[in-house]
Each structure stands twice: as structure tokens, then as C-alpha cells.
A and B are shown apart, each in its own frame.
Chain A
Amino acid sequence: MRTSVKILTVLVVGSALGLGATYVTAVHASLPGGVCDGVWHTNLSIGSSSGSPYTRARVALHGLLALNRSETMYYTATTDAAGDPLDGACTYKLKGRILDARWWSITAYGADDYLIPGTDGHYSFSLNDVRNNAGTNYTVKISAKESGRYWIAVKPGRFSLTLRLYNPDAPVVADPAHADLPSLTKESCA
């Protein structure tokens, strides 16, 4: 093989491998596990300028403009309790109690990290929804079909949930793996 061809091959293959590695480790990758509480994952370096270049690149891409832990804690769920990826063709039950924070919400996002079209504003479930009701427990349905009062709407296809705690209580900040977050189980699939 001629040297020029070899150099060209090195340039093309080397660049492709490098870009591919960045894509796989940062662009396509979800936020690194860090800490889990049931199905909920969070990364303690979110919102700070510390962390590995991989974490920083992933936070920039998938959690841009996130705040530090005492301000807001962000948990993400991409699977149900059985470990299966969340799919809007299925119906899920989100069961929990009022969370230990000044304010909190749980929001569904499509595979593109944006709010899901065609869900008629039923993007999230929050303290606002339970505050005026007796009791501290709730059960929320997550499905493409309208289902009752406590309902987060999704569409068939992959989705994920973000749980936000605004000004979380000190014990949660100190021990994010035991925040007593809601459980998420699959009920049925269309």
C-alpha cells in the first residue's frame, strides 16, 4: 500500500474511532449511576464543576443548567422495578409518599430528552397535586391512556422520568440513596 493511502486510512479510521468513543461514552451514554434509590439514579457531581471529563460532558448534554445538591436534587428512572426499560406502550404504577423536600415533582421525558408531544399537558406529578388532599400517600398511573386523577401521560416508545427535589431536607442531601422515593412497577402492556 502506498504511504499516502496509509496516512489517509490512519486519519479516517483514527478520527472515526475517536468520535465514536466520544459518542458512546458521552453523547449516547446516560448519566453515570453514582447513587441509586430503587429505580432512581442520581449523580452527586451534578451541578458542580468537579467530576471526570466524562461526567462533565454527560451533565452538559443531559443535565444542562442543573443546580447543586442543596438547591435541587435530580433523580432519573429509565427502568421499572423489574429492570425493564420504560416503554410508553405499557402502564406503570408509581407509588409513594410526600417526599422530604420543600417542593418536588416527577416529570416524563421522551427519548429525545424533551416533554412528550400529544400528552395534553399531563407532563408531571408534583406536590401541588397532593398538597390539598388528605393523607401523605399517592398512587400515580403512567400510561398513554388517560387513567384517573393522578396521571402522567406518555406515548408508546422509550421514555424516562426525572424526579426533582427542591431544597431537599438535610438527611436526603446527606444520604441520597435512602430518600424513600416512590416505587415504579409495570402493570400491563398494550
Chain B
Amino acid sequence: MNRVLSISLWVGATLLLAAAVHAATLYALPNIVMRTAIARIGAPNTIHHVKRADATSRGVVRPSPDLLYSICPFDLSDGPLRVSAPVPADTYWSVSAFDGQTNNFFVKNDKQISGKTDFILAGPGTDMKTLPANVVHVQSPTMSGLVLFRTLIFSERDFARIDTQRRQATCAPMRARPPEPNNGG
């Protein structure tokens, strides 16, 4: 009887540990995937214009060869970012933002905004009232994540023009105005 009880206890402990390891890795996976993707893209808080996807592309799984991706991995721990880009008039275009758990928390497309997108991206805990009121505010649920611009290559003939325009997107830290130079007075 003692032996049966002892075996049950050890087997139970093994299964408990298995369940705990399974749950922990399952919940951690999105975060690990996001960190890996961000690390592959490059430096945070600046925009990276990814070359058109082909068979050598390894940044993100299942890339679309018909879209141009521009990506800004962000780290908002030093303050908000200002994100802006021209919105093309004649093709599908979208700007989306994903948090550190891979969740999509913001998306707009070219049917919803025209001309230009311009917004401030702030981290959790930011007092949004302190930000300039004349610009759209977007709050990320996590400090790190990424902003992704998609531009459709609707015709091969127009590729150069589409590519040039999407490269005008910017993403940079919002800084206080630098102090006036001190000229000895």
C-alpha cells in the first residue's frame, strides 16, 4: 500500500511539473516570438524599410511578396514616439501596431485616413493629457512592440513610385526642444 502511494505521489509530482512547464512555456511563447522578431528587425525607435519579400526573407513568417513592409520596433521606456507617413491615394495601405504579446492594438487603413498619418505613440502609464493636443494619441499596452506599415504593390509598373513614397514614413522619439545655444550671454 505504501509503495502504491509512493509511486502515485512521484507520478503526480511529475505530471504537476509537466503541467506547470507546459502552461509557462505556452504563455511565454507570444512574448518570446515578439522579442525574436524585434531583435531580427534591428534598432528600436527608428523605421526600417524592409526589402520586398522573397525566398531569402527570414524576418517574419509567411511574408507577402505583394506588400512592402516598413517596420518601427519601439521601446517607449524613455518616452513617446512620433510616427508619421504619407498615405497613398491609389493603393491599399495600412498602419498597425502590435504589443509585446503580439496583440494588434491599433490599425488604420487608407480608406480611414487620407493624405497623411501622424500620431504620438505612448507607453502604458503615460499621462496622455500631458501630450500635445493637436496630434492623435495612441497608447500601447506594453513598453515594447512594433509599428508596421503595409503598402500594396498594386502594379509592377508602379513599384518604384510606391517604394519611394513608403520610404517617407518616419518614427522617432519625441524630444523636448533642444536648449537655445548659449552665446556667452
Contact = CB atoms under 8 A, between A and B. Distances in A.
Interface of A: 6, 9-11, 13-19, 21-22, 25-27, 47-49, 53-54, 56-57, 59-68, 71, 102-103, 105, 107, 109, 113-119, 121, 123-124, 126, 128, 162, 164, 166-167
A67 B94 contact: yes
Which range holds the interface residue count of chain B?
35 or more
A57 B30 contact: yes
B84 interface: no
Interface of B: 10, 13-27, 29-30, 33-34, 37, 53-58, 60-66, 92, 94, 96, 98, 101-105, 107, 109, 111, 146, 148, 152-156
Contact of A114 (B10, B55, B98, B107): B55
Chain B contact residues: helix, strand, loop or mixed: mixed
Contacts of B26: 22, 25-26, 53-54, 57
A47 B104 contact: yes
Contacts of A66: 104
A53 B33 contact: no
Interface of A is mostly: mixed
B76 to A, nearest CB: 18
Contact of A113 (B61, B96, B111): B61
Contacts of B152: 103, 166
Nearest to A112: B61
B27 A65 contact: no
A14 B154 contact: no
A65 B30 CA distance: 11
A113 B62 contact: yes
B61 A64 contact: yes
A123 B154 contact: no
Contact of B17 (A11, A116, A117, A119): A11
B92 A103 contact: yes
Given A22-B25, A114-B61, A166-B92, A14 B16 contact: yes
Given A53-B27, A103-B92, A115-B54, A109 B62 contact: yes
B22 A164 contact: no
16 contacts: A13-B18, A26-B29, A47-B104, A48-B103, A53-B23, A53-B26, A60-B30, A60-B34, A61-B61, A63-B62, A103-B92, A114-B63, A126-B66, A128-B154, A166-B92, A167-B109
A48 B10 contact: no
A114 B58 contact: yes
B83 to A, nearest CB: 16
A120 B62 CA distance: 17
Given A61-B33, A123-B55, 8 more contacts: A14-B20, A15-B21, A17-B22, A22-B25, A64-B61, A124-B66, A164-B64, A167-B111
A91 B9 CA distance: 55
B111 A68 contact: no
A115 B102 contact: no
A10 B62 contact: no
Given A107-B64, A128-B154, A19 B25 contact: yes
Contact of B55 (A13, A105, A119): A119
The 4 closest A-B pairs by CB, nearest first: A18-B21, A14-B17, A17-B18, A49-B103
